[in-house]
Amino acid sequence: MASDGTASLALRLQVPKPDPGNPLGIAKPLQEVFRIPDARDWSVQRSTEPDGSEVLTASRALAVGRETDAGIALLIGGKAATRAAVTLDRTPSGGWKYTARLEWTGDPPQPDSAEDDRSARDLLAALPPGAASLEDARAIAKDFEAEIWTMLFGPPEPVLPQMLLSGPNAMQRRFRTALAPSLERILLRRLGDRLSEDQRRTLVSLALGAARPPQAAVPNAGPSPGNRGPDVPPIGISLAVRLPGRVLSHNGKFDAVTGEVYWELLPQALQRGPVILSATSTP
């Protein structure tokens, strides 16, 4: 975005050259993986990288105060399974606000109520007697699953790709280290002083000591442990914005070299509900 308020939106879609020896590869042409942007709205170019990857780049003007299609539409079974839009607004202080909304529009995952209930009862059994009700345990288990989901798939930065490149021990260590503080905060928020600090830490240690990264942590897995849904290819989504002035707040990561706020995620992140990304600047 320029200092005079004019803004543009750039899109880059890329799929690697099919490689039979790579089980994580995407053996489809670009037009079968993504919905191609409409040339009536976008300036579109195609190219091929030296390594054989197919690339499509597209750009369009970004109007102020109006939602604009961001062009991020992943195809599953020939139908768009994701939708993304961005909005750029002025703030009362004369700065700028960027908002991106990403949604899952494909077939929804089917929850496994029996597995959810089992998780809640296991958690209740691990809590000190009288510390929580079954409803408390269900709420905590739901919070735990949401935290695991965001950690694995983002935003702002999924750990799943790094975990898949690690050995089993390192993968388990990353899983525990990333989750422990968040699970302690959930217990504190839900149960307050009904648990001591030592009890919270002990419970988290027991939970993570027995836990394994969920089934969703393997490529092309369903949407969550105990839930069944469509296979989702391992495609990374990255968004970035550069706003005039000084960045005041954001829910992503800040690149101090480029001055951009950025977010990274995998498509599975959208299956729990809309994902909202935001950044604001001040003059």
Give the DSSP letter string of the chain.
--TTS--EEEEEEEEPPP-TT-TTS--S-HHHHBPPPPTTTSEEEEEE-TTS-EEEEEEEE--BTS-EE----BEETTEE-EEEEEEEEE-TTS-EEEEEEEEE-SPPPB--HHHHHHHHHHHHHHSPTTS--HHHHHHHHHHHHHHHHHHHH-SS--SHHHHHTS-HHHHHHHHHHHHHHHHHHHHHHHHGGGS-HHHHHHHHHHHHHH----GGGSTT--SBTTBB--------EEEEE--SSEEEEESSEEETTTTEEEEEE-GGGGGGS-EEEEEEEE-
**Interval 195-237: pLDDT, tens:** 999 999 988 887 776 555 544 444 433 334 334 445 777 789 9
**Interval 133-190: pLDDT, tens:** 999 999 998 998 888 889 889 999 998 887 777 777 787 787 788 889 999 999 999 9
- Is the pTM higher than 0.75? The answer reads yes
Q: Give the pair of three-digit tokens for residue 55.
A: 């690339």
Task: Point out the least confidently predicted range of 1-5, 15-19, 72-76.
Answer: 1-5
CA distances to 113, 123, 128 from 133, in Å: 18, 11, 11
Distance linking the first and last C-alpha atoms of the chain: 14
Q: Mean pLDDT across the stretch 97-108?
A: 95
